[in-house]
Amino acid sequence: MFIQNCWYVAGWADEVGADNFLKRTVIDVPLALWRKASGEVVAFEDMCCHRGAPLSAGRREGDCVRCMYHGLKFDDSGACVEIPGQARIPPNTRVRTFPVIERSRWLWVWMGDAEKADPSLVPDTHWLDDPQWRSLQGYTHYDTPYLLIADNLLDLAHLPYVHPTTLGGSEDYAATQPRITMLERGVHVERWTLGTAPPAFVQKVKPFAGKVDRWNHYDFLLPGIFVMDSGMLDAGHGAPDGNREGAAMFHGCQALTPETAHSTHYFFAHPHNFAIDRPEVTRSIHQSVVDAFEEDRTMITLQSRSLALRPDFRMQPIRADEALGRFRWLVQKTLKEEAASREPSPAIA
C-alpha cells in the first residue's frame, strides 16, 4: 500500500536525455520516461497496452514511441496511433501516462488521479539549481522498505553513532532535544546543538578551530521528501534565526521513492553556499555524504533483515521517536483517506 496522490521523485533530470528512455519502477509501477523534441518529459507506464512489453525498449519516432515487440505506435498522450495490419484502432488502446514536473533537476511524477495533480504540491528544492549553491547529484538503491529510511532521517540522534567519521560530531549531539511541529503534509524538525564538536565532513572543507553551534532544521514531507537548512558556526555565536556570519551552511535535499514494498530509490544532494567556485569542495562534501549514506544503508539493511526474520518483534518507543512516530501516523492517515475515497458511496436510503 502506497500513497497515490502525491509527487514522487522518479529521477534526476539529466537521466532523461534527448533520445533515451529512463526505465524506473515507482510504487510497483514500471515507468518509461522520455523527452519530447520540446524538451518536455513524458512518463509512460513501461508496458505496452497490448501484451505488456517494455516501451523503454521501444523506438522513438518524433514525439511518438513504437513498441518494438509487435509494432504498436503511441503518441505522447499515450494514445495508440498505429497497429500493424489493423486499420481500426479501438479508442481504449492506450498506454497509461502520468503527470510529470521537471523542477530543480528532479523529475516528479504523480502516480494517482491525474486530475488531482497539483503542481503547487511539489516541495521547494530550488537549492539544487540555485546559482548561489553547489552540489553533486547522488543516487543509491535500498533493498528495504522506504519507511525504515524515513525513520532514519526523522531522528538525527543517529548522526554521532552511525556517522562518527563523516556527518557526525561528538555524542552530546544525540542528547539535544529537537522541536517538532506538524505540517499539513509532513513534519518540521528544528535542532540546535550548542558547543559541540564539528563533524569531519565540514572540517575537511571549512575547518573550525574549536567547538561549534550546529543547527539542523528540516521539513520531512509526504511521500518521503527531506529538505534541510543546516550548518554550524563558532560556538557561542549561534542562535535560532540569529547571526549566521562565518557559518558553513548547507541545504540538503533528499527524496525517498518506494520502488516496491521491499525496495527504495534514494535521490540526494547536499548543496553548500560557501566556496562555490571550488569544485573540490563540492566534491569533498558530496563524497562525505555518499560515504555516510552507505553507513546508513548498511545499518538499515541489517535492521530490515532482522525485522523480516522476526515479524512479531515489538519496537520499544523512546522520546527521540517523536518525529518519526508523527510521520508514520500521517502516512497511515493519508493511506486511510485514500482508501476511503476509493470506496463506492453508500446508497441513499
Tell me which residues touch a second copy (CB under 8 A). 25, 28-30, 46-47, 49-54, 57, 66-72, 83-86, 90, 92-93, 151, 155, 157-158, 160-162, 171, 174-177, 260, 298-299, 302-303, 305-307, 309-310, 313, 315-321
Rounded to whole angstroms, the Cα distance separating 231 from 213 reads 8
As measured in angstroms, the least distance from the Cβ of 92 to a second copy is 7
Rounded to whole angstroms, the Cα distance separating 42 from 50 reads: 20
Nearer to a second copy, 87 or 348 (CB): 87
Of 236, 272, 243, 292, the C-alpha closest to 135 is 272
Quote the least distance from Cβ 151 to a second copy, whole Å: 7
CB 298 to a second copy: min, Å: 8
Nearest distance in Å: CB 174, a second copy: 4
- From CA 117, how far away is CA 11, in angstroms rounded? 18
Q: Which is nearer to a second copy, 158 or 206 (CB)?
A: 158
Distance of alpha carbon 198 from its chain centroid, rounded? Answer: 27
In the 8-state DSSP scheme, what is residue 134? B
**Which CB, 27 or 42, lies closer to a second copy?**
27
CB closer to a second copy, 75 vs 130:
75
Torsion of CA 334, 340, 342, 345, to 10 degrees: -150
Distance in angstroms (rounded) separating the CA atoms of residues 298 and 63 = 42
- CA 174, 177, 287, 268: dihedral to nearest 10 degrees? 140
The distance of closest approach from Cβ of residue 7 to a second copy in the complex, given in angstroms and rounded to an integer, is: 21
Between 127 and 173, CB nearer to a second copy: 173
- Toward a second copy, which CB reaches closer, 123 or 160? 160
Cell of 262: 521491499
In contact, 106 and 129? CB cutoff 8 Å: no
CB of 33 to a second copy, least distance (A): 15
Q: CA-to-CA distance for 339 and 211, rounded, in angstroms?
A: 50
